[in-house]
Amino acid sequence: MNKQKINAELIEYWFMSSTGPGMILPDGWFGRPHDNRHSLTKVLYGDNFLHILLDKGFVELKFTGPIDVNEESDNLVIRNFDSLLFSRTSYNSNKKIDDKTYNNGDVIFVSHALRY
């Protein structure tokens, strides 16, 4: 089975069993810690990429390279990517307000509640 497909399935399962996780990007929390809660819209994947859409597509994470996705202490951790393009669109105006590129680090989705 394709590794990116396994990663995508783990992400989908983890979000289904979590309640609005927060997100830590390689340079720190996105928004206020433990305040922002995200919902998974879609996961797309190919041989060398993984694309995560959150919050009805207003938040996008585009990973390239050999990506590792693991569950660690109830959190979902994505690491070992070649690059990550993080994009955010304004909820009010549909205009891009953030575009950041990362070449290393971890992305951590932090569970806010006990999962079932």
Distance of alpha carbon 26 from alpha carbon 106, whole angstroms: 5
| Tokens 């569970």 found at | 111
pLDDT 10s digits, 29-49: 998 776 788 999 999 999 899
Integer angstrom CA distances of residue 57 from 2, 5, 29, 75, 102: 25, 20, 19, 22, 20
Distance of alpha carbon 37 from alpha carbon 105, whole angstroms: 21
Residue 113 has pLDDT above 70, yes or no: no
Q: Where are the domains of the chain?
A: 3-110
pTM as predicted: 0.89
